[in-house]
Structures are given as structure tokens and as C-alpha cells.
Amino acid sequence: MTDRPRFFDDLTGIAGGAFSAFTGAREELNAIIRNRVSEILASLHVVRREEFDIVREMATQTRISLDAAERRIADLETHIENLKRS
């Protein structure tokens, strides 16, 4: 009778160890895949979404500044023409 509970304890321990090993292997495999995908994307010169969003925001701000500068230049040119006519 005493052998039976020990058998189940041993079986539970083995199952728990196997589960831990599989979990660790899965995490390791995920890390390897993530690293490999990052290497492939880097070799293809593909940018990450965060980098793209930053550059897009910079381009938007530059466009706004350029539009403002063009309006100011147009106003100054109009002012100079008005001064020439006076």
C-alpha cells in the first residue's frame, strides 16, 4: 500500500519536470525565432513600425514648416512689390 502513493508522487514529479522542460524549450524557441526574424528584417533594410511612425511625424512637421515658410515668402514678395510701386 505504501508503494502506490509514492508511485503517484514520482509520476507527478516527472510530469511536472517534463512540463517545465517543455515550457523552457518553448520560450527558448520563441527567442530564437524572434532573433532570426529580426536579423532577416535587418538584412532586408525593413524598418520597424515605431521607426516609421517617428519619421512620418518628422515629415509631417517638416511639411507644416515648409508650408508656413512658403506663405511667409509669398507675403514678403507681395510686400516688396507693393513697396516698389509706392
Q: pTM higher than 0.75, yes or no?
A: no
Distance CA 28, CA 51 (A): 27
Number of domains forming the structure of the chain: 2
Q: What are phi and psi of 12, to 5 degrees?
A: -65, -40
Cell numbers linked to 22: 517543455
**Looking at the structure, do residues 24 and 35 belong to the same domain, yes or no?**
yes
Assess whether pLDDT exceeds 90 at residue 75. yes
The parent domain of residue 51 ranges over 47-86
Cell numbers linked to 80: 516688396
Summarize pLDDT for 44-73 with one digit per residue, the tens: 988 889 999 999 999 999 999 999 999 999
Summarize pLDDT for 12-29 with one digit per residue, the tens: 888 788 788 888 888 999
pLDDT at 52 (0 to 100): 95
Which residue, 30, 46, 62, sits at the end of a domain?
46
pLDDT at 4 (0 to 100): 65
**Looking at the structure, do residues 41 and 80 belong to the same domain, yes or no?**
no
